[in-house]
Amino acid sequence: MTHDPVPDLLKHAVEDLRQRFAYLPGHESAIDQSAIQHVLDMAAQRLADNYPYFHPLYAGQMLKPPHPVARAAYGLAMTINPNNHARDGGRASSEMEVEAVGEIAAMFGWTEFLGHLTSSGTLANLEALWIAGQLAAGKRGNARILGSEQAHYTHHRISGVLRLEYASVPADGSGRMALEALEEELRKGDVGTVVVTLGTTGIGAVDPLDEILALRERYGFRVHVDAAYGGYFGLIAGELSEPARRAYAAIGQADSIVIDPHKHGLQPYGCGCVLFRDPAVGRFYKHDSPYTYFTSKELHSHPGEHPPQRTPAAGPVHLGEISLECSRAGAAAVALWSTQKLLPLIPDGEFARGLACGRRAALELHRRLRSDPRFETMIAGTADGPELDIVVWKVKADSLEKASALAQELFDRCAEKQLHLALVQLPHSWFGSRAGIQNGSRNLGEQVTCLRSVLMKPEHETWLGEIWTRLTAAATEL
């Protein structure tokens, strides 16, 4: 591992913070440093039993190391351990959360909204669909939720928790929600919400949000955008394909948006974010507590009234009244706030340039795979490259079983060379020479095991040559 600057940075900041509380009487806790050091040494030994998620040769799952400023700011905040459920438990960190969330909302063009951080994208999506269900309450036959078959499985699971009916819409050959299939479901007249994914976890596909919004005008339903993975790519939309550019240009028209700062946002786990375009949905969160949070004065309006907009200038905020979660780590807000101060969410900024590096690496890997006769890439929609920074490919073979087995073997051989990829099951009809596969009675909906690489680290661009060398060397051993 390279030198880690975080301990030195954190030591200075912790001393600064300690001095700011020097007015308090002395208070010492008995700490056995040698015992703690022994336990930490044991923990380090156990943590070595991991893939090297922090290294550019790890190009498998959606795992990206937090920025040093995020790690340091999180550790700094943990010396106080604030709770952002309410301002009493996290006075400074609550204000920092409001500011940081406001900057994320501004990335989508929103200045009036309701939003907050969550412990995960799953919880953020749950809140969005919970609000959708609350708005549909009492409307007979108008609460069904639709999502692409390539949408994250959590939507189906969440709908079950909320006791809302959920149905999957087929995806086209590019992994995007198929519009004709969607409209067929909409004609049934019972759809309350459509989940639109900008950056599917399988291949990074971007659903046609602009065209789905046009259908909303005709059929009347809520649009929830799950941009947990792909939300930040709006900052470099000009470098994406035309369909993806149109989708990102329309994101501000959604009713709710989820984005995960703990993915591309360089944050430690867990840090999700949910945003609602209409601040009035805050009325569904109202509650009365018998003992807490006397400093909070917002959201005490009558049902139906609009609570104040959530912007950095909105003043004190009782975050517990706009969140299903109660206790939440204030340290997550401090880390996010600090990161966005260092790396503002602006086009052409350093943060956006990091996203562009990963995308260029994905395009180059796709180009090399496409020119190698041992591999097959997707044949539709993304023939010129992935929409974001996820690359998928299969190994050529004369049967699906053989192709899947070779993918598993290549995955293992790459790992032996310290190159870590991922596996994914996808329809074999999405790939190049399907006509050459001797599949007997198999249908085009059948799945094949493929290789998958998530090139989300900026360093992946400079390491692409080494990644390719190790991948091709492993392939020659098949």
pLDDT value at 440 more than 50? no
More confident residue, 416 or 288: 416
Residue 438 or 118, more confident: 118
Look at residue 435 and tell me whether its pLDDT is greater than 60: no
pLDDT of the residue at 344: 98
Average pLDDT estimate for 318-330? 83
- Average pLDDT (234-238) is 96
Whether pLDDT at 469 is above 60: yes
Considering the chain, what percentage of its residues have pLDDT values greater than 70? 88
Rounded Cα distance, 162 and 151, in Å: 18
pLDDT over 60 at 433, yes or no: no
d(CA 122, CA 39): 32
CATH architecture observed for domain 350-475: Alpha-Beta Complex (3.90)
pLDDT tier at 3 (50, 70, 90 boundaries)?
confident
- What residue spans in the chain does CATH classification 3.90.1150.10 cover? 350-475
* Residue 301 predicted with pLDDT over 60: no
Could you tell me where the DSSP H helices lie in 108-208?
121-136, 154-162, 179-186
| CATH 3.40.640.10 segments of the chain | 91-342
Strand-pairing partners, residue 223, are 194
pLDDT of residue 364: 97
Q: Is the pLDDT of residue 337 over 60?
A: yes
Q: How far is CA 30 from CA 19, 33, 35, 75, 210, in A?
A: 20, 9, 12, 21, 60
pLDDT tens, position by position, 109-155: 999 999 999 999 999 999 999 999 999 876 666 789 999 999 999 99
Rg (CA), the chain: 24
230 residue type, one letter: G
CATH for the 91-342 domain, from 3.60.21.10, 3.90.226.10, 3.40.50.1110, 3.40.640.10: 3.40.640.10
pLDDT single digits (tens) 206-216: 999 999 999 99
Reported as a single tens digit per residue, the pLDDT across 56-103 is 999 999 999 999 999 999 999 999 998 888 778 888 999 999 999 999
Mean pLDDT score, 432-458: 71
Give pTM, 2 decimals: 0.91
C-alpha–C-alpha distance, residues 101 and 106, integer Å = 9
Beta pairing partners, 167: 146
More confident residue, 226 or 429: 226
Q: Which long-range contacts (CB under 8 A, 24 or more apart) does 154-162 make?
A: 154/121, 154/122, 154/125, 155/125, 155/129, 155/195, 155/226, 158/122, 158/125, 158/126, 158/129, 159/129, 161/126, 162/126, 162/129, 162/130, 162/133
Q: How confident is the model at residue 360 (pLDDT cuts 50, 70, 90)?
A: very high
- Segment of 132-136, 182-186, 320-324 carrying the highest mean pLDDT: 182-186
Higher pLDDT, 115 or 311: 115
pLDDT of residue 9: 86
Residue 2 pLDDT class (50, 70, 90 cuts)? confident
Q: Worst-scoring range by mean pLDDT, 135-139, 193-197, 311-315, 465-469?
A: 311-315
Beta bridge partners of 116: 274
